[in-house]
Amino acid sequence: MKITKRWLEEQDACKEGLEWFEARKLKSIEHEELIKLLAKEGKIGWIWWLISHLLKGRSLVDFGCYCARLVLPIWEAENPEDNRLRHCLEIAENPESTSEELMDAASTAYWVASTDYWAAKGAANAAAKAAYWAANGAAYAAYWAAKAGM
């Protein structure tokens, strides 16, 4: 899909994001190329925002869960007694989950992952960041899907 300044404005992109887009003199760019550019500049949160506006409903939740599952082994190796993220993923992946359950799971996943992210030191920092962004993305996806009454 082509991403333009107008599309970003219609999606209520933040002022900083619009300025970033304009500063690179981008008129129109394929979403795949934009994601690569954002990744190169370390704008992971912006990638999640973009994905959350490109995908809808169950597709968004499935993508978030897929990403979280990629780093779940890292999380569990560092936190062997803590199964909260696995439980949140199970709720998000269950098509029978209610909107309330999805909202609770999203909130839990976000806070568990963000706590680990800020507590991480040294070599574990990269793993914690990966786990945080994946869990945050899954939580974000589940939150918006629940809000939409999925």
CA neighbor of 89 nearest in space, from 66, 116, 112, 60? 66
Are residues 31 and 74 both part of a single domain? Answer: no
**What is the per-residue burial (b if ≥16 Cβ within 10 Å, else e) of 63-102?**
bbbebbeebbebbeeeeeeeebbeebbebbbeeebeeebb
pLDDT of residue 1: 94
pLDDT (tens, 9 = 90+) of the chain, 150 residues, equals 999 999 999 999 999 999 999 999 999 999 999 999 999 998 988 888 898 888 877 777 777 778 778 777 877 877 788 888 888 888 888 888 887 887 787 777 777 666 655 555 444 555 556 656 666 666 666 666 666 655
Let me know whether 76 and 106 are in one domain: yes
Same domain, 68 and 104: yes
Model pTM score? 0.65
Do 49 and 73 lie in one domain? The reply is: no
The boundaries of the domain holding residue 131 are 57-147
Q: How many domains does the chain have?
A: 2
75 and 92 belong to one structural domain: yes
One domain for residues 75 and 49:
no
